Amino acid sequence: MSYEPMAVMMNTDFPGNPDNYIRLEWLDNGAFGEVWKVQHQQTGNIYAAKEIAYRGHHDDEECIVRERSALLCLKHDGIIKLVDIVVLPSQIWLVEEFADLGSLQDAKELHKTLGDNDKVNLVRQIIQAVQCCHQCRIAHMDINPRNVLLVSPLTLKLADFGQALFNVKSIPEGEEYLGDSKYLPPEILCRDKYYPTAVDIWSLGCVVFYIFAREHIFHGTSKQIIQQQKKYCRTHDLPSCLSGCTLTKSTRLFLCKTLIHRPQLRPLADTLEKIANRVGLFES
């Protein structure tokens, strides 16, 4: 894949000592390695440690370079914080802020207790996190409910930057891509030329729907999702399996502004709060 990884050197401020941590609990199998709940022995603080295997040198692994570089660059309340890097002979640990409540996808029961104003507040936070990424010329490229973490019922953090792209305007068609197809835009699923920041805008729109409806807006195989996307972009009608979902007019209008089939016509992240205000979403 042709992309420009940021030239971010290893931060020597990190102690990087594996003896500082005790494994407490296995959390997840991520796309690039296991995630463990760990405790710092001296402070007692709880963190999440991503353990990523590598061969040769850790800087030869794109996912490591991308996640480390993005988190060292991005300093924002809505983005998960990198607190330590531990380099072992065949494995690197990226020690990150721990989200007590897991991912947005995990928190379905909690989600049922949220009021409309709470959901609007979460939408504002994810918009601001994506704005920060794009202002730093970073596209996340894998925004979906599993990668949006909750550190409290009303505070979210964008995480998992292993597929992030840097300083890229467009990618040639036909590129292989990993990700949750329910949250990928038409151009990715069809292997057309794509614009990384526009990919994020589409995925963000899908996450906004999930925050309000507790459902994925698109379902099925990639082929089925492509057909659902075409129909939605043409009619703005939800797939038939979601006929029971009730959305406010302002939410529907916001989705229409982000889930646009042609990536060149999707808005910039910096305009999303203005759009949300204009359609009345932030007045809920």
Q: Which residues are catalytic?
A: 142
Q: Rounded to whole angstroms, how far apart are CA atoms 243 and 246?
A: 8
Helix 249-258, helix 196-213: angle, nearest 10: 160
Close Cβ partners of 182 (under 8 Å, ≥ 6 residues apart): 144, 206, 216, 217, 218, 219, 225
Q: How far apart are CA 205 and CA 210, in angstroms?
A: 9
What values do phi and psi take at 66, rounded to 5? -65, -50
Distance CA 77, CA 131 (A): 12
Q: Give the residue from 147, 149, 79, 78 showing the smallest Cα distance to 107.
A: 149
How far is CA 9 from its chain centroid? Answer: 24
